[in-house]
Structure 1
Amino acid sequence: MKKLKIALAFMTVMMLLAACGSGGDKDVPAESPAETPQEEPAEAPAEEENQEEPEAEEPAEEVKEYTVDRLYPFESDTHRIYAGEGNEYASYDVYVDFVSQERIQLRENNGGTEIVRVLEKKDGTLKEVIFEPETYYKENFLSKDANTDRILLMEPIMEGTSWKSGEETSTITAVSKEVATPYGTFDAVEVTRVTKSDSGDYTNIDYYVENMGLIKTLNIGEGYEVSSSLEKIEENVSMNEVVNFYYPNAMDERIFLYRKEIAFTTNDIPRMLLIEAYKDLPKEAAPVLTPGTKVNYLYLNQDGMVYVDLSREFLTEMNAGAGYESLILQSLANTFGDYYATDKVLLTIDGETYESGHILLREFEPLEVNYDSIVDMN
């Protein structure tokens, strides 16, 4: 037994000596701690990625995602006021007459005239498709054929994007331009339009802001600069318009003039509001449209005449002699002719020529506007 213990002790000593000898040759344990610093840099990229996350949310990245739809949202019942410098007509107001998914009809009033523009958003572009100057009546042009084709904005919304419309060349010259207006200071997309003509070149610069649309326009030429800048936005408002209504006075065969203010909101049907106001009689006035009369259509035609088609109740409920009926027709012609700024009104009954017991109008024979013997009751 004693010999076995001595043998085990001897073997243990030999194993320890062997272990110490192998450590001296390879020195592996001395190098193994150095692997830890090599693993630590592997964690550094994770920390750097966390530091880079805010950079992905910087405004510069948002600008690259601009779209026409975001830069020019369609609005309803909105009144915009632009302050002008450099020209007496540089200041103007804008109302929204009508709006659909792809088109919007705007009415601009600069104090000297009213212009109707229809803009269309489609396939990544914003175009002006209808331009109607000197338009003082309200009518829906959204479904009408285009009479112009001018591109205002085009994707991709990035610096250098360019397009041409007729003699006008447009280029996105900046996507984050600081622009000051009376309404505030904004980062805007800048579109520079250069038009060539026989009298020389001139430049327009438009500024668009996300979710706001057009905020400023510059018109630059030799020796002049005109600007129009957004000053105010009013929401949920109507466009109030004063309309002249004419009524017969059977006592002395004259016609009375009454002015009424009508509040138009976006997508209102103008003829419905006009007829409702016409049937609302002032104290001294006699009716033109009877209670049961319906207006089938009312519009200004391309031939310059107003076309109005009434239901048969206009005849059956009238109950008037020849002279009084003439005053009624004259009052109607004056009212609609005045509103559409024309001197001829073509009246029909349920699509047929006008015929009563006293008056017969030939096919396509218009009523003539006549302001003689008008008594202004305002």
Structure 2
Amino acid sequence: MKKYTIIIGIMSLLGALLLLGGCGTTQENPPTGNNPGEQPAQEDKFADYLAYQDNTRYVYEGQGNEYASYTTYVDYSTGDRVQLRTNNGGTEMVRVLVLDAGQIIQQLAQGETYYRENLTKSSKLNSKGEVLLKEPLTKGTTWTLPDNRKRTITNVDMELSTPSGNYKVIEVTTEGEDSAVMDYYAPNVGLVKSVFKGTDNYEVTSTLSKLEKSTPLVQNVKAYYPNIDDGKIHTTTIQLSFKTNDITKQVFEQEFKKKAANQGKLIGDNVKIKSLHLNQDGRVYVDFTKNLVAEMNAGAGYEGMILQSIANTLGDYYGVSEVNLTLEGEPYASGHVEMKKGEFFKVDHKNVVEKS
């Protein structure tokens, strides 16, 4: 149990420090890292260390613990900030890193985040979050973290070989009461290795093993569709594919327009999802264009199944029990179903046939 607790803390730190490689880069052919001479750390701009590579799957191989291996994607990148998604096989964590006044600051670290939503401008951001890296990028630069750990740039222009290539890196050491973490960063690539050292010679390493370019984030999602033959809602598994900066509502909109096997589609071809988000009250809010009703062309029973299918799909995806469904900002109203302001659709599985 002690080692497990330590590793969860390590992965929180490592995931937070996954910052450094491609969202700000405009190079068509960024350095591959195969030649250490390509990447002189001292000559690179500080912003290069928040230049995470879009549409790339970062694969890290670990030693010393089952959670030391993980993958990272860039959900969103907006110039001075990047949102990263880390999956270590046990959980998915989302972080927002911001470049501000010569510092790269982790302003959000949110665990158990299996849904995809742009949090780069969220009210949850903490502008005084944890400083991950700061100027000048010279040996000896030191700062103190909120929990009193000391973080120091302990080496620059250091040559490091990994399965993904050879790099010239900056070494950053974080000293705790009974532990130390050494992280190695290459510009326009990011974190290429982390080493955790604890008591009793306990050591865990995570090393960048490969960069899988042009690889989207793929999520397997349970979707619900009405079946007019048996009057029940059936489930199926769909794959949602996201590139960096893809908008989640648009991906769901495209999926809802598809006809599942032996089932009807959820929205008409001309219907748009105007907004979709998880609110601070723990509910999902989804707003459709008014033609949702006209293009539905359904009787009362089938309409209710369609609405329940939408609520179940979005509710399960975001992990909530209530969905606020509106038509261009107004409560849903069709003649068959009349919702009042502040009324929500409940996620309900009573009339559901699970996919065998």
TM-score tier, shorter chain, comes to 0.7 to 0.9
2:347 counterpart of 1:369? yes
Which amino acid is 2:104 matched to?
L
Tell me which of 161, 164, 174 is aligned to 2:144.
Answer: 164
Tell me which of 175, 196, 217 is aligned to 2:194.
Answer: 217
Equivalent residues in 2 for 1:294-333 (5 A)? 294-333=272-311
Structure 2 equivalent of residue 344 of structure 1: 322
Q: Deviations over 1:138-194 (max 9, x none)?
A: 111112241361111111111110112201321111113343433244332111112
Distance of 2:275 and 2:187 partners within structure 1: 40
Equivalent residues in 2 for 1:1-378 (5 A)? 63-145=41-123, 146-147=125-126, 149-167=129-147, 168-195=149-176, 200-223=177-200, 224-377=202-355
Deviation at 1:72, TM superposition (A): 4.1
Distance of 1:63 and 1:241 partners within structure 2: 36
Structure 2 equivalent of residue 43 of structure 1: none
CA contact (8 A) 2:53 2:189 kept: no
Q: Deviations over 1:264-307 (max 9, x none)?
A: 10111111111101111023112321223211101111111000
Distance of 2:162 and 2:310 partners within structure 1: 47
Distance of 1:297 and 1:63 partners within structure 2: 43
Deviation at 1:376, TM superposition (A): 3.5
Deviation at 1:63, TM superposition (A): 4.8
CA contact (8 A) 2:221 2:317 kept: yes
Q: Deviations over 1:4-25 (max 9, x none)?
A: xxxxxxxxxxxxxxxxxxxxxx
Which amino acid is 1:211 matched to?
N
Q: Tell me how large the CA RMSD over aligned residues is.
A: 1.9
CA contact (8 A) 1:72 1:214 kept: no
Unmatched segments (≥5 aa) in structure 1: 1-58
Distance of 2:229 and 2:51 partners within structure 1: 55
* Structure with the larger helix share: 1
Aligned length: 314
Distance of 1:268 and 1:118 partners within structure 2: 16
Counting aligned pairs with the same residue, the percent is 40
Distance of 1:76 and 1:105 partners within structure 2: 11
Deviation at 1:352, TM superposition (A): 0.9
Which amino acid is 1:75 matched to?
Q
Deviation at 1:66, TM superposition (A): 4.6
Distance of 2:244 and 2:105 partners within structure 1: 20
Which amino acid is 2:134 matched to?
M
CA contact (8 A) 1:245 1:278 kept: no
Unmatched segments (≥5 aa) in structure 2: 1-36
Q: Normalization by structure 1: what TM-score? A: 0.78
Distance of 2:58 and 2:182 partners within structure 1: 19
Which amino acid is 2:83 matched to?
Q
Deviation at 1:75, TM superposition (A): 1.9
**Radius of gyration: which is bigger?**
1
Which of structure 1's runs of 4+ aligned residues deviate more than 4 A? none
CA contact (8 A) 1:193 1:203 kept: yes
Deviation at 1:64, TM superposition (A): 4.1
Distance of 2:129 and 2:209 partners within structure 1: 29
CA change 1:157–1:355 in 2 (3 A) is: same
Q: Secondary structure at the match of 2:68?
A: coil
